[in-house]
Structure 1
Amino acid sequence: MAGYSSRLRSDIARWRQAGLIDAATADSLVRDVDANARQSLSFGSILAMMAALLFGAAILIFVAANWEAIPRLARVAALFAVILGGYVGGAVLKTRDHAAIGEALWVVAAAAFGASIALIGQMYHLSGDEASALVTWGAGTALAAVALRSNALTVTAIGIADAWLFLKGFDYYSRSEFPHAFIVMAVVLFAVSFWTRSQPARHLIILSLLFYVVLLAMDHATLPVAIPLVIVSVALFAAAVLAPEPVDRIVQLGGRLPLHALLGFLTGLAIIQFELADESTYNSGFAIASVVALAGIVAAVVFAGRESRGLRWLAYLGFAFELAIIYVVTLQSMLDTAGFFLAAALLLGVLAIVIIRVEKRMKGPAIGGATA
């Protein structure tokens, strides 16, 4: 946001100097930019949330230490006091225009709720495992997010769901079925994010779904999982580029759906390449996947790179990864590697020349028309 604000201020100054807007309009625009920039990024809010996370971690560790010197009733009463005080105090502060501190107190209360689940289960030897406790904790936090329309609690609930996915996906404690129920959790939390107006939560859910797909590919057949991921990512990218405004009104990701689609595309192709790497000597599947990956990166930059700096950086990282994996896999034949890089370089060079000439021709009539 800071980069956008600084660029917009420079544009306003340039428009004023060129006589496109008057001084009063320029001052009004600058004041509006400053007001929205302060509202969207407050270091006090960030510090308050960090303090809440540290305080919540302290509560969880304190409970895990098994405080034998404190009576059971006192332990439970203390945790419930923190829960009640966090939710009520946060609500009061929200009504008094202290939204950041109020949200931070709600996060502390959610952490205390998770600690209470662990403590009560430990004291009374209730049946169940850590994954079940996480489900209960996440459900309670999601309900609190809905009741309070809290952005921070929505993100916290997604973080708890991710922890559950990690435990079940890697079978950290015991062998069990694959956690397909995470799809249901993600759909519910995605719907909750619209009610709580939490755009960060939607971004986090999409990243979590990519993590789920990676775990699914590791646990099940690789290609039947990775190929649909690539196809769906391409379809989402095309929809976001061809109809950006209608699509963003539906998903409400701030225009960043192409970035997520490119990440999904690269993830799916990376899974395919790792699967075909050992067979690269015997068939051309790895080479085809590499060509598709490079072509997809170029296409993403051409069609959406101008509007998104994050997408450009992701494309650069993806390009570097592709060069590295191609080199490592084909290391046994340096001549083949050199030939592949030479062909890719020539193809990209020709494509760059064509794109540059097309862009110049497109800009020429527009400038001429504006001058006339």
Structure 2
Amino acid sequence: MFDKTYRQRLEADLARWEADGVIAPAAATAIRHALPPLPAAINIAVVVAIVGGLLIAAAFLAFVAAHWTEIARLLRFAILLAGMVVTGALGAWFAATGRSVLADLCASVGAIIFGAGIALVGQMYHLGEDFAGGMLLWSIGAFAAALLTGSRGALAVSLVAASIWTCMRIHDAPDVLHLPFVAVWLVAAGLAFAWNSRAAAHLVALAVLPWWIATSLRFDFEGAQPSFVLANGAALLFGAGLAIAAAPSPRALCLGTVLSIYGALSLAGVAVLEVTTVDDIIRLRTATVPAQPPWANLCGVAGVILALVSAAITRRPGEVLAGCAIGLVLVAAPLWPASTAGEPWFAYAALLCAMLCLVVSGMLDDVRPRIVAGWLGIAGVIAGITWAVKGSLLRRSAFLAAAGVVAVLFATALNRMLPRAER
């Protein structure tokens, strides 16, 4: 919250309030002293040093790769081991001198070298060709480095390796739901919560997306519609993020806010995907009747419940509308097969209403990413309806016109109901 942009805006507000006589100069001074110091910014010298270090590391790797076959096995291993020791020592020195960015970079490079060492040992001694297992081992090592050093870069390496691991396991066993990744992800989320780091929260939120996408795509062979399974994942991510952010803890607020942002963006993307895939603009199904596994439905219902629980705790009307947006996207899924004889007008209407609820929710709660997600969703759904392969273009134009009239009438009613200060 106390980033540079916020501090600049607050400083401008304090100066204006003091000039207008709203607050006394002593109060403005007390507010400035109460603020925590800004974290050290990355200056030009640090950026140049990072680039130089990366160039030196790239030159070293290129030299080793050029003479790889000429280097003895033990010497190869010694080089990689020395690389980890050197990066660790440099990272410790940078951390002791207060250069946290460079220390984080060293820990990240060390985690990458550790992965290269796993690959080298497997190649030299012809270990079992379990590439996914190697990725898991790499993820565990990088996570240990992140836990010991607090490196966000090492956490990123760990989550990337874990995502590759789970995608490979899902590909190898498409009939089995790969739940071990969920346990790994929860541990990483707990670490992000303990760190109270927005960067770590972003990494954790991004890491869950490959698992959901790979899991939903594997059901394509069973006749399920991947976008419907993705909708339940987006619902759970959105609702859980809102519920976590409602907890009375700054750490929970940081993690939950980021998760809810990604959940809102995912919900908008899923709404567009439902229109484009079910109407065969992009065909992903191999069967004619879409279906959803029971566990996915439970995740979607849990997302709606968590959003409404969050609204009950925070008393924010925008979160009620967020729960409505989640529910409408989920309701649209069973409406598609119910209209096989014609176009799915009710599903179109549900998705448009869901995205409109998302926009209004973001405006009421003053959450800009939610507003952006809603507008992107509206644009994508309208484009999908307009360019759908099936059905009459004249009927779709009439539907869009009717939806526009309803939206205008709804806006007129809101304008009369809301107080003038909230319009």
Match of 2:106 in 1: 105
2:399 to 329, 340, 350: 340
- CA distance 1:33–1:327, change in 2 (3 Å): farther
2:383 aligned with 1:324 = yes
Change (3 A) 1:124 1:234: closer
Letter in 1 for 2:16: R
Aligned pair count? Answer: 359
Q: 1:359 to 1:202 in 2, by over 3 A?
A: same
**Helix, strand or coil for the counterpart of 1:246?**
coil
Q: Secondary structure at the match of 2:410?
A: helix
Residues 58-117 of structure 1 show CA distances to partners (whole Å, capped at 9, x for unaligned) of 777766667112222222111111101111221222122111111111111111111111
Higher relative contact order (CA 8 A, sep 6+): 2
Partner of 1:201: 200
The separation in 2 between residues aligned to 1:135 and 1:10, in whole angstroms, is 49
| Mapped contact 2:234–2:264 kept (Cα < 8 A) | no
Q: Which residue of 1 aligns with 2:130?
A: 129
5+ residue gaps, structure 2, are 281-287, 289-335
Q: Which amino acid aligns with 1:314?
A: A
Name the % identity.
Answer: 26
Distance 2:268 2:402 in 1: 21
Distance 2:69 2:112 in 1: 21
8 Å CA contact 1:273–1:286 kept in 2: the answer is: no
**Structure 1 residue 5, shift from structure 2 partner:** 3.9
The superposition leaves residues 147-199 of structure 1 with CA deviations (integer Å, 9 ceiling, x where unpaired) of 2233332222112222334444556xx98966443222211221222344433
Question: Structure 1 stretch 267-276 or stretch 178-187: which is displaced more?
Answer: 267-276
Once the two structures are overlaid, the 10-residue window that deviates more, 79-88 or 180-189, is 180-189
Structure 1 counterpart SS, 2:255:
coil
Contact 2:185 2:208 in 1 (8 A): yes
Q: What corresponds to 1:311 in structure 2?
A: 370
CA distance in 1, matches of 2:51, 2:412: 48
Structure-2 residue corresponding to 1:95:
96
Instruction: Report the Cα offset of residue 35 of structure 1.
Output: 4.6
| Residue 14 in structure 1 maps to residue 72 in structure 2 | no
In the alignment, the residues of structure 2 paired with residue 193 and residue 229 of structure 1 have an alpha-carbon distance, to the nearest angstrom, of 20
Structure 1 residues 52-91: aligned runs within 5 Å: 67-91=68-92
From 256, 263, 268, the equivalent of 1:261 is 263
Paired with 1:290 and 1:61, the residues of 2 have a C-alpha distance of 54
Any gaps of 5 or more consecutive residues in structure 1? 365-372
| Cα 1:94–1:234 shift into 2, 3 Å | closer
- Which secondary structure state, in structure 2, belongs to the residue aligned with residue 68 of structure 1? helix
Whether the 8 Å contact between 2:269 and 2:377 is mirrored in structure 1 is: no
Task: Report the secondary structure of 1:253's partner residue.
Answer: helix
TM-score, normalised to structure 1, is 0.80
Q: 1:326 to 1:51 in 2, by over 3 A?
A: farther
Q: Aligned partners of 2:376, 2:351: CA distance in 1, in Å?
A: 12
Q: What CA distance in whole angstroms lies between the structure 2 residues aligned with 1:237 and 1:192?
A: 16
Structure 1 residue 119 displacement after superposition: 1.4
Tell whether the 8 Å contact from 2:94 to 2:102 is kept in structure 1 after alignment: yes
TM-score relative to the length of structure 2: 0.71
Q: Amino acid of the residue matched to residue 72 of structure 2? A: P
What is the CA distance between 1:237 and its match in structure 2? 6.9
Taking the aligned partners of 2:64 and 2:85, their CA distance within structure 1 comes to: 18
Q: Which moved more, 1:103-112 or 1:83-92?
A: 83-92
Tell me the equivalent position of 2:229.
225
Shift of the alpha carbon at 1:233?
5.2
Q: CA deviation at 1:362?
A: 5.0
- Aligned-pair Cα RMSD in Å: 3.7
Matched, 1:282 2:340: yes
> Corresponding residue for 2:189?
190
Superposition deviation, residue 131 in structure 1: 2.0
- Output one character per residue of 1:276-324: Cα deviation in whole Å (capped at 9) or x when no partner: 3248773467433332222222212222235222222222222211111
Secondary structure at the counterpart of residue 259 of structure 1: helix
Give how far 1:33 is off.
Answer: 7.3
